[in-house]
Amino acid sequence: MKLAYWMYAGPAHIGTLRVASSFKNVHAIMHAPLGDDYFNVMRSMLERERDFTPVTASIVDRHVLARGSQEKVIDNITRKDKEQRPDLIVLTPTCTSSILQEDLQNFVARASISSDSDVILADVNHYRVNELQAADRTLEQIVRYFLNKARRQGVLNRSLTDTPSANIIGIFTLGFHNQHDCRELKRLLQDLGIGVNQIIPEGGSVEHLQDLPKAWFNIVPYREVGLMTAKYLEREFGMPYISTTPMGIVDTAEFIRQMENFINSFLSKERVDYESYINYQTQFVSQAAWFSRSIDCQNLTGKKVVVFGDATHAASITKILVREMGIHVGCAGTYCKHDAEWFNEQVQGFCDEALITEDHTEVADTIARIEPSAIFGTQMERHIGKRLEIPCGVISSPVHIQNFPLGYRPFLGYEGTNQIADLVYNSFTLGMEDHLLDIFGGHDTKEVITKSLSTETDLTWNTESQRELKKIPGFVRGKIKRNTEKFARQEGITTITVDVMYAAKEALST
């Protein structure tokens, strides 16, 4: 048993449901007790989904406990088959059904006889894998199922598309900025004249999965979900895949060069050359390269930060901060324990220490020890930051509704570099502002002494103090002036000198 208040990755069935409900016309049936369908709330609330979430439960209650599910699961599957005519029904085990050890595979076999839909049992073990691993497995399982089916039926189409094309694997519901990233990736491919063969699972149709091998190669933007599928497709069909995440200028360029290589390996003549595109985008479309040379970013040099999140985002952001902005990463960490080896390898040389943990208190303690000027993490780190008064930019799941913005906010590609630069810069300036406010003893004063910056004539600022006042950064100057004058009035001082200013600051800070 483990005393736990918070978890970074959810239980396995959430991963399965996220994949299943991302496909079009796929229905998931959970073998679960009442109340376990909380996934529907999340999808409806966080994604602000307009359609009913295609997930229902075959309820496990006392009767099921006593006599087993018997016909119940099968009835629920066939009922759903009739009601909504899905292409695929995914029977999803939960922690409860894991312990009951009913032969769900048998139910699936029996239900598929009487239903028009395909029916499969998600092959995930609640106690062995988490949300992300389960999502990865389920996606691979569905792809494998339909490719095998197509092969059996002899409709598998293995001829490549005429022009270069790619599949994008791993965009799905409740993913961190997934929708925006997907749009950005499509735009990038379009710019390069590469067609998008299929995007799975989001908005994909299982009936078209048989056309997956038509693409020239696969793109796996996030390593948490999609890698298993890409490896399967490589093994079965010799399809190459790119697992470099196009996040940040350097890795986006690397990503494009890999595509160039793949495409050229297929072409005998008229080879593609994306180098000029990379240069143009880097220098002029993305503002991030210029930003990193601008004096704003100069001020960030050597500032210490802590990065924490899923493996993909934490590793990419760490590299961006260090390589592209000259920021010092005190600690980079991930909660993807199953991917620790890869993560360590990625961040090696980019940070002082790597932290692999699922325990948020360990993350909090590390942050408290390092005392960074900013944190880049999940919602949990944002709250840790609040408590420690350190600003935090959210770069990874788990997230809240505010991390499902309506506006266009990709993290990938060239527009992504702009968004990340904004995020990083805003986190720091906020921190800087706070710090300055502290130095000059000003927090929001409840009573306004004078409405305008120039006050009535009862107080005069001598030349030195006026000069001193001008040295104070504009955004806190008004507040400092008001505080000083308030102090002067209290003390019955009519002429404000530099000494009075300092005294006012001292009086306020005590």
Partner 1 sequence: MNTSETLTFECETGNYHTFCPISCVAWLYQKIEDSFFLVIGTKTCGYFLQNALGVMIFAEPRYAMAELEEGDISAQLNDHEELKRLCLQIKKDRNPSVIVWIGTCTTEIIKMDLEGIAPKVETEIGIPIVVARANGLDYAFTQGEDTVLAAITHRCPEYKSWIDEKNGIEEKSLSVYSKQNRDDTFKSPKHPPLVLFGSVPSTVASQLDSELKRQSIRVSGWLPAQRYTELPSLGEEVYVCGVNPFLSRTATTLMRRRKCKLIGAPFPIGPDGTRAWIEKICSVFGIKPQGLEERESQIWNNLKDYLDLLRGKSVFFMGDNLLEVSLARFLIRCGMIVYEIGIPYMDKRYQAAELSLLRDTCKKMHILMPHIVEKPDNYNQIQRMRELQPDLAITGMAHANPLEARGINTKWSVESTFAQIHGFTNAKDVLELVTRPLRRNNSLEHLGWTNLLQPTMI
Alpha carbons within 13 angstroms on the beta-carbon side of residue 316 total 27
CA distance 303 to 252: 25
Q: Which stretch binds partner 1 (CB under 8 A): 33-41, 143-151, 338-346, 439-447?
A: 33-41
**Number of residues engaging partner 1 in binding (CB under 8 A):** 50
2 vs 446, beta carbon nearer partner 1: 2
Which amino acid is residue 408, in one-letter code? Y
Q: Which of 296, 352, 365, 438 is catalytic?
A: 296
11 binds partner 1 (CB under 8 A): yes
Burial of 154 (0-12, 13-18, 19+ CB in 10 A): exposed
* Per CB under 8 A, 66 contacts partner 1: no
Q: Which of 77, 87, 118, 127 binds partner 1 (CB under 8 A)?
A: 127
Q: How far apart are the first and last CA of the chain?
A: 47
Q: Segment contacting partner 1 (CB under 8 A): 47-55, 109-117, 156-164, 496-504?
A: 47-55
Q: Does the annotation place 116 within a ligand binding site?
A: no
> Site for partner 1 (CB under 8 A): which residue of 17, 20, 26, 57?
57
333 binds partner 1 (CB under 8 A): no
Reported as type and span, the H/E element at residue 171 is strand 165-171
Shortest spacing between CB 333 and partner 1, in angstroms: 19
Sign of CA dihedral 332, 337, 340, 343: negative
Is 432 marked as binding a ligand? yes
Given 17, 19, 26, 60, the residue binding partner 1 (CB under 8 A): 60
Is 45 an interacting residue with respect to partner 1 (CB under 8 A)?
yes
Closest CA to 469 of 492, 429, 500, 445: 500
- The DSSP bridge pattern shows strands 26-32 and 88-93 to be parallel
User: Which of the stretches 123-131, 244-252, 259-267, 282-290 binds partner 1 when contact is defined by CB under 8 A?
Assistant: 123-131
Q: How far is the CB of 443 from partner 1 (least distance, A)?
A: 23
56 binds partner 1 (CB under 8 A): yes
Please report how close the Cβ of residue 150 comes to partner 1 at its closest, in angstroms: 25
Considering the rule CB under 8 A, would residue 42 count as an interface residue with partner 1?
Answer: yes
Four-point Cα dihedral 297, 299, 304, 307, nearest 10: -20
Beta bridge mates, 196: 166
- Residue 393 assigned ligand-binding role: no
Q: How far is the CB of 114 from partner 1 (least distance, A)?
A: 19
| Three-class secondary structure of residue 56 per DSSP | strand
Assign 24 to helix, strand or coil.
Answer: strand
Residues 170 and 158: their CA atoms lie apart, in Å, by 22
> How many residues does this entry show for the chain?
510
| CA distance linking residue 225 with residue 23, whole number of Å | 14
Cβ distance to partner 1 smaller for residue 65 or 453: 65
* Contact between residue 36 and residue 61 where contact means Cβ atoms under 8 Å apart: no
In the complex, minimum distance from the CB of residue 380 to partner 1, in angstroms, rounded to a whole number: 8
**Beta-carbon count within 10 A of 129 CB:** 20
Alpha carbons 366 and 368: distance in angstroms, whole number: 5
Q: Which of 151, 369, 400, 435 binds partner 1 (CB under 8 A)?
A: 400
**Stretches 27-35, 145-153, 245-253, 365-373: which one binds partner 1 (CB under 8 A)?**
27-35
* Minimum distance, C-beta of residue 466 to partner 1, in the bound complex (Å): 45
Q: What sign does the CA torsion over 63, 64, 66, 70 have?
A: positive
* Binding of partner 1 by 6 (CB under 8 A): yes
Q: Is 37 a catalytic residue?
A: no
368 lines the binding site for partner 1 (CB under 8 A)? no
Pick 96 or 287: Cβ nearer partner 1: 96
Q: How far is the CB of 33 from partner 1 (least distance, A)?
A: 3
Beta carbon nearer to partner 1, 83 or 464: 83
Per DSSP, what are the bridge partners of residue 328? 304
Cβ closer to partner 1: 176 or 414?
Answer: 176
Residue 87, interface with partner 1 (CB under 8 A)? no
Minimum distance from residue 270 beta carbon to partner 1 (Å): 40
Contacts 24+ apart (CB under 8 A), 263-269: 263/164, 263/194, 263/216, 263/217, 266/160, 266/164, 266/216
What interhelical angle do 38-46 and 12-22 show, nearest 10? Answer: 50
**Quick one: which of 131, 123, 241 has its CA closest to 175?**
131
51 binds partner 1 (CB under 8 A): yes
**Of the candidates 373, 368, 325, 370, the residue with the CA atom closest to the CA atom of residue 350:** 325
Of the pair 128, 271, the CB lying nearest partner 1 is at 128
Give the catalytic positions in this structure.
296
Q: Which residues bind partner 1 (CB under 8 A)?
A: 1-7, 10-11, 13-14, 32-38, 40-42, 44-45, 48-53, 56-57, 59-62, 65, 76, 83, 94-96, 99-100, 126-128, 130, 380, 383, 400
- List residues forming the annotated binding site for substrate: 431-432
